[in-house]
Structure 1
């Protein structure tokens, strides 16, 4: 086992479905050699009951929490929602309150950052799912994919400015209140896994640029970026590396085709492509593995060893 895991954290999304107690879930992550954990949005009050004493005793560090935290069952405030972009003012206010609640927990646990899914351009149905099915069945260059992709793009572009403005207003409010309350955490707006969701890397850059001085940056989800690049939404490698100075956290995982949360290098069997993200990982203040349950401890170790060794090689 590679010992150099001090700088890295590990998300509870890997094993949350396997455990009935928070303590058991965290202990399994600690057994991998990690000392820090990201508490994801499915962590509820019941799980926290046995995690909080571990935090207080210094048995585990919390790198970050993932909004909405702790878990909220209402899909309006879930991870795939308009969230900070709601036109309905009471709902938008509620989304702001919940994000501030996440920040309060992050502050209490000594975490550095809150991972935020800011919102989306709403569609009448899950057009992303339809596109991914055509991508798998007929390919990206097929007429069916290209036609539906154009339709999605036109509608997304027509609505993006409006929702971007709403999201920015919400984030400004959140950052102001968070600073007034002395939470001392960064808010990272995350690159998303569905093509109608916000932000693209360009949209993230716009918001960050207009909110200079705020405790806000990009939460760069590497696998999601790879997926959106493959679907045709943006140039992931170039645009992500251009925002390297604004990254507050990374989710480390790799995408095989359009399936995400795999161990970098190991599951894709591509031993060079992931190198394009090593500088971002190296520079990122918070580095979190966000892997699926299918990844084994041996694969996680092997992947981590490759990442750490390759970053060290680049530094030499």
Structure 2
């Protein structure tokens, strides 16, 4: 089958990393479905890079972005679901800063535009998000059980958010300063997250970006995660995300069906209208990356992409007529 040339759109290795034992095989499969650019996600190991780097050097593939912590770090303290840049323990916080700068150094080396950053979280003694999602599925958002636990989560999150926001901001300021001194020339995108106790919310992202004006820092808007947090009740995703459109440095394109994410927009939800709310953000975003799960087929990915680019083109034409 012939797949559409995806041009400036990029594709995350999270889709097929578990299917491959070599980096070359993983990248070749992505290229075969029409992509020229790839985001290297946080599970890419140094071993996989041994066969990816020659492909980058030969110009066979462009790297749009890398996802911190990159290459893969097995220590969960520095994984994607941790306090990370908000650690109170100074030794661990400094290590998190060093690892983010290492990701930026790789991004610079590969000619990438951005580093995707999970900044941190308000820590809980257990995964309260998992418990909330189970009640959401079993009893619904309006159930007394959900509302009671949600209120408990919200109170604890709000009690700790200012402290951790300040720590994260200090860490990001340090990272941006060192990155600029070293001439890495990459943007850091703080990503909207998939668990309700994680940071940042869109409002928190806006606060950090506002405080660090002039730094190479912006919002990495993960559309599916935003949809999920909106459904759970954390923020008004469509309104708040579009309000931050000028600060978006990158976007993860996927759709959430219920509270299950990383599906192909329009295709799996069968909703042919709602995802239109995010097309302006995708259009304006300097880096556009599909972040899809392994269950999405090449045919579904192609169909979803064609819908997105066709609809964006239609919107552009309508605007030109209006002018």
SS in 2 for 1:150: helix
Q: Which runs of 4+ in 1 moved over 3 A?
A: 313-316
Equivalent residues, number:
315
SS in 2 for 1:218: strand
SS in 1 for 2:149: helix
Contact persistence 2:254–2:261 (CA under 8 A)? yes
Distance 1:240 1:282 in 2: 14
Q: CA deviation at 1:3?
A: 3.3
Deviations 1:179-233 (A, max 9, x none): 0000000000000000000000000000000000000000000000000000000
Q: CA deviation at 1:90?
A: 0.1
Contact persistence 2:173–2:212 (CA under 8 A)? yes
1:193 match: 194
TM-score (norm 2): 0.97
2:96 match: 95
Deviations 1:66-95 (A, max 9, x none): 000000000000000000000000000000
Structure 2: 5+ residue runs without aligned partners? none
SS in 2 for 1:63: strand
How do residues 1-316 of structure 1 correspond to structure 2 at under 5 angstroms? Answer: 3-312=4-313
Q: CA deviation at 1:133?
A: 0.1
SS in 2 for 1:255: strand
Q: CA deviation at 1:310?
A: 0.1
Is 304-313 or 64-73 further displaced after alignment? 304-313
Structure 1: 5+ residue runs without aligned partners? none
1:131–1:315 distance in 2 versus 1, CA, 3 Å = farther
Q: CA deviation at 1:314?
A: 6.3
Is 304-313 or 201-210 further displaced after alignment? 304-313
TM-score (norm 1): 0.99
Distance 1:104 1:82 in 2: 22
Q: CA deviation at 1:6?
A: 1.1
Q: CA deviation at 1:240?
A: 0.0
Q: Over aligned residues, Cα RMSD in angstroms?
A: 0.8
Contact persistence 2:223–2:252 (CA under 8 A)? yes
Q: CA deviation at 1:32?
A: 0.5
Q: CA deviation at 1:4?
A: 4.4
